[in-house]
Structure 1
């Protein structure tokens, strides 16, 4: 894997500067969740610092939950923020807990979105949902899951409540990983219809939007108990 071009560091605070540049590369999706980051020699060359500086930065970001060091395999992006990394550590593989919290955030997010969304935001939601449905119908599940996650995050962002959106974004990575697994094994259970949720937001019907958001998440929770 080729090194991601990063700005050359200066003398003072090298470790902190490297940490910040690596964090920025992750936040801007130059290094995506699940992907291996450049090797240690590649980072040394790209950043113009010593191996010890790179190792300290990787160690700090691993402790924060953004990176995961896999012995013999490399270092991989685990989360896009410290908050998301903490959520992944707490959630583990217990999807039920994550979905229950997600339900709390998404129901209120959908309610506020119906009242606050702009025409441009509605167009974005429509585009994302159309792309999701096309991908699912084509059995392109990787793209389908990506568009699904983007759609739900966009709904919450339409609430225009930044704190709610930040809290929700911290859940999306662990939820996406779990939903991706479900899609691969039982796609019929994961491919929930979101068209009525979009219609409720379009009609600016806050109660209906909240009900639709609760309904499909309740269905996902119920599916956990269904073989």
Structure 2
């Protein structure tokens, strides 16, 4: 980072930090330098740096962990805004959106999946089944979302993957809210897995619709 004139203050610090994030110099998950290190690098007071960090935390690009430091959580504020909107969306709204995405993902995955895609889907499905047997709601939600993300990845359409991943937190919350799904046996996910593995697009779409119909009934 370049040295910032003291007169630039908070706005300049915000732009410098945002630039480090958006350029990829600080990828998501990276712990950023301490306030004192940033202040020295930018040539400004720690107070100005602290305020700049606070603004970016509020924007959703950074998060501060008490006693640990500050980490990058996103690189694009528009994606943060979308994620926050999704977090507030009603569960039914999420299912309505998923009907479009899941049907496309299932159809494309059945024709484009690779052995590596299938292996990842299979592991996620096994984790999901094990969590259901154990009644572990958090593990079940994580595995369920991972399975559907792997199906989307298997479509090998970058835009579809990005859209699906931007919804991942909202999807996880919606699954966690359907606690009965953990207790009831449901083989529709296994059917989706088998249809994708067999390359049967029509069957994969049908299985995907069945999954969402069941989730709608569980609401």
TM-score class, shorter-chain normalisation, is 0.7 to 0.9
For normalisation by structure 1, the TM-score amounts to: 0.72
Task: Give the structure 2 partner of residue 163 of structure 1.
Answer: 159
Name the structure with the higher helix share.
2
C-alpha spacing 1:15/1:76, structure 2 compared with 1 (3 Å): closer
Change in CA separation of 1:188 and 1:25 when aligned onto 2, cut-off 3 Å: farther
User: Quick check: 1:11 aligned with 2:7?
Assistant: no
Report what 2:51 is aligned to. 55
Work out whether residues 68 and 76 of structure 1, in 8 Å CA contact, stay in contact via their aligned partners in 2: yes
Scaled by the length of structure 2, the TM-score of the pair is 0.74
CA–CA distance in 1 between the matches of 2:75 and 2:186?
26
The Cα shift of 1:168 comes to 1.3
* Structure 2: distance between partners of 1:178 and 1:20: 34
CA RMSD of aligned residues (A): 3.5
Could you say which structure has the larger radius of gyration? 2
| Deviation of the 1:150 alpha carbon | 1.4
Q: Which of the residues 104, 118, 122 maps onto 1:122?
A: 118
Residue 107 (structure 2) aligns with: 111
Is residue 28–residue 72 contact of structure 2 (8 Å, CA) maintained in 1? no
Count residues with an aligned counterpart.
Answer: 201
Write out aligned runs for 1:11-160 (5 A): 11-12=3-4, 14-21=13-20, 28-29=28-29, 43-45=34-36, 47-48=38-39, 50-63=46-59, 65-66=60-61, 81-91=76-86, 92-160=88-156
Identify unmatched segments of 5+ residues in structure 1: 1-8, 32-37, 70-74
